[in-house]
């Protein structure tokens, strides 16, 4: 399977990742999404508080 993302495309890193590498990338992605969702929730609370 061809992987083209920030980890594997256009940055001199090989194009085909191992299963373990894919899992690690997805875990990092999930962690970042969870942090983003937390930030969005905090921003919503701030906006609601200031209205």
Does 14 map to a domain? no
Does 6 map to a domain? no
Instruction: Please state the pTM of the whole predicted model.
Output: 0.65
Does 48 map to a domain? yes
pLDDT of residue 43: 97
Does 46 map to a domain? yes
Does 5 map to a domain? no
Does 1 map to a domain? no
Does 50 map to a domain? yes
Domain with 36 in it: 20-51
- Going by pLDDT thresholds of 50, 70 and 90, the confidence category of residue 51 is confident
- Going by pLDDT thresholds of 50, 70 and 90, the confidence category of residue 30 is very high
Residue 10 has pLDDT above 70, yes or no: no
Please state the domain count of the chain. 1
Q: What b-and-e string marks burial along 3-17, b requiring 16 or more CB atoms within 10 Å of the CB?
A: eeeeebeeeeeeeeb
Does 12 map to a domain? no
């Amino acid at each position: 399977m061809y992987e083209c993302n920030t980890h594997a495309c256009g940055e001199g890193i090989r194009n085909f990742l191992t299963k373990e590498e894919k899992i690690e990338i997805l875990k990092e992605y999930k962690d970042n999404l969870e942090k983003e969702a937390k930030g969005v929730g905090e921003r919503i609370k701030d906006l609601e508080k200031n209205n």
